Chain A
């Protein structure tokens, strides 16, 4: 979402001490941006539907019929949302302020990194790395505590999924190295 990521990614630090309430995005702007994105999605669906017959064939409505109308309904709804947002008297409501953005980024960026890492090195290694990072860098925990929690969690997952439920999770070179597959 473009509206969310302007402003440089904040340096990760202990969650802020004084509230920073400078406005990043106003509610009204966000309402309109979201509705425009929904509109674009609706248009995408309509265009996608037009690759198929969208009329009435001898077997009733054809594959393109339903998505085409759904796309149109999404667009119509979004227009309504925009109209409501524009005509509503703005009371200065804030969607996101600086302090919130910082906390949001401090939570979300490691999460995205966790997913990226999982797809490369498997769940178990990524989980360990993720928890270690969050606890040491953001939580300010001692390394020993962080190690205990992250290894303990990873081990619990392993026992729960691979051994007990027999559901194999995503694995990578690390798991192969430890001899799990």
Chain B
């Protein structure tokens, strides 16, 4: 078992005082970000990235990943106690989590949520551990055509599986690619699409875009509704946790099914939000107590939470191995990777073992850290939401804009944040998926380079994309996914795969 040896090496890196304290900081910041509506995981990661410029990549990714786990947990806390999902992916948790809390079973609901989330995450990490060896095997078969095919596949699966209108997905991704093209052309060195605005020469940073799209945009959408936080006080005692642990085996079928759904949706870019909805829907259909769903059924908490975390965890694998992030947060992390000078792809598993296995090992440890921290800090973070939104909202604005400024010390970026905020707000309300746009901004230059280099290698012939089994399979798969909405529209089953309107996590 070569993987096991690598994993042990990873644990050796992770179990140091420095990395453990990074995890605690990351998880706590993540819970905070997850608890606050309008400040989500993609945003949290974005705000931290400028602070990681001087860190070792492995330390930086541990910090960011821990923040992500924390955010996932924080999102479920507010879903249950306040009926307000802190993260889009915890919307489904409100369906049964909040009714449970209203019946005075808040501690039980929280314990179910956290423990099943931990189960899902663990399932995901084990899967990643097992599959990582496979990724490394492909390392030396990857060159430009393969990379381009993989990028195309990523966008094709947004179109084919994303759940939003395929046209809107195309527009969103296209705008992202166009924004990525602004500035210096990496092959010829000429300046493109700058319209003589000097600030555009360095291009438009995806970090600034994410802060606007997910932060300011989300806040605008939140602020426009009248917000009332009517929280239910809760404290989780060790006895509650033990009682819940004792009943967990009873739910093995839900746990297993939801983990599988989550892993599948995480590896294909369906994302955690879609995963949690799908898992909730399946649980309701197959449960013996399906009549009880929506009224405070533990299975209705377990199913979305397990899938949400399994998907969040699994989203890391295609991000590392192929450069296709399975969620918006993973997309931002991948952008971080590129900033630190690492190129996602199978070669990463060969050339940067310390980084990859440090991250994987940290996922085991950080999830344990996160469960413990979140169980003990629930009352504290729930108290934060009792601060009126009139104060919290503007504070989030200040944090977001300061964060955007630290990206490259440019005041122009502040205006860009506002512009992206408006775009994010409109996109959110009109159900345009935002993740494809962010991903396009991150991989835009790479995808274009890969395409142009493939063309240089083949002398301008597109047949290079079918020149071997690997690239041929990837391209064919991508084209099938692109055509999928068309096929299903023709066969009249268009809505079968789209139970989720809010799939633009």
> Interface on A for B, CB 8 Å cutoff?
1, 4, 15, 19, 27, 30-31, 34-35, 38, 41-42, 45, 48-49, 51-52, 56, 59-67, 70-71, 73-74, 76-78, 80-81, 84, 95-96, 99-101, 103-104, 106-108, 110-112, 114-115, 118-119, 123, 127, 130-131, 134-135, 138-139, 149, 153, 157, 161, 165, 167-170
Contact = CB atoms under 8 A, between A and B. Distances in A.
Contacts of B226: 15, 19, 99, 103
21 contacts: A15-B226, A34-B426, A34-B432, A42-B178, A48-B193, A56-B455, A66-B448, A77-B174, A78-B167, A84-B165, A84-B167, A107-B220, A108-B220, A110-B394, A112-B418, A131-B394, A135-B390, A139-B388, A149-B391, A170-B405, A170-B409
A74 B225 CA distance: 31
Interface stretch (B104-112, B325-333, B395-403): B395-403
B168 interface: yes
B174 A61 contact: no
A114 B168 contact: no
B388 to A, nearest CB: 7
B193 to A, nearest CB: 4
Contact of B181 (A34, A67, A73): A67
B171 interface: yes
Contacts of B452: 59-61, 65-66
A18 to B, nearest CB: 11
A59 B187 contact: yes
B430 A119 contact: no
Chain B interface mostly helix, strand, loop or mixed? helix
B429 interface: yes
Given A42-B178, A77-B167, 10 more contacts: A19-B226, A41-B175, A60-B187, A60-B453, A66-B452, A67-B178, A70-B181, A131-B398, A135-B390, A170-B409
B286 interface: no
Interface in B140-192: 165-168, 170-171, 174-175, 177-178, 181, 185, 187-188, 190, 192
A30 B418 contact: no
Given A81-B168, A103-B223, A135-B390, A127 B398 contact: yes
B252 interface: no
Contacts of A161: 402, 406
Contacts of B429: 30, 95
Interface in B378-436: 388, 390-391, 393-395, 397-398, 401-402, 405-406, 409, 411, 414-415, 417-418, 422, 426, 429-430, 432
Closest 4 pairs (CB-CB, A-B): A80-B167, A77-B170, A74-B174, A139-B390
Given A67-B193, A81-B165, A130 B394 contact: yes
B490 interface: no
Given A67-B193, A110-B394, A60 B220 contact: no
Interface string B460-472: 1000000000000
Contacts of A34: 426, 430, 432
A49 B193 contact: yes
A166 B350 CA distance: 35
B224 interface: yes
B456 interface: yes
Nearest to A82: B167
Nearest to A107: B223
Nearest to B184: A63
A161 B51 CA distance: 10
The binding surface of chain A is classed by DSSP as helix
Given A59-B456, A165-B51, A123 B178 contact: no
A111 B216 contact: yes
Given A34-B426, A70-B181, A149-B391, A104 B406 contact: no
Interface of B: 50-51, 165-168, 170-171, 174-175, 177-178, 181, 185, 187-188, 190, 192-193, 195, 216, 219-220, 223-226, 388, 390-391, 393-395, 397-398, 401-402, 405-406, 409, 411, 414-415, 417-418, 422, 426, 429-430, 432, 448, 451-453, 455-456, 460
A42 B233 CA distance: 50
B398 A153 contact: yes
Nearest to B50: A167
B426 A52 contact: no
Contacts of B223: 103-104, 106-108
A21 to B, nearest CB: 12
A70 B185 CA distance: 15
A119 B414 contact: yes
B398 A42 contact: no
A31 B224 contact: no
Contacts of A165: 51
Nearest to A138: B390
Nearest to A56: B460
A70 B174 contact: yes
A79 B395 CA distance: 39
Contacts of A56: 455, 460
A73 B224 CA distance: 33
B171 A52 contact: no
B178 A107 contact: no
A135 B411 CA distance: 25
Given A60-B456, A66-B451, A100-B224, A35 B390 contact: no
A123 B405 contact: yes
A100 B220 CA distance: 10
A139 B174 contact: no
B489 to A, nearest CB: 11
B178 A45 contact: yes
Given A161-B402, A169-B406, A107 B171 contact: no
Nearest to B219: A107
A88 to B, nearest CB: 10
A99 B224 CA distance: 8
A78 to B, nearest CB: 6
B185 A81 contact: no
A151 B408 CA distance: 26
Given A114-B401, A115-B415, A138-B390, A63 B185 contact: yes
Given A49-B193, A80-B170, A169-B406, A111 B178 contact: no
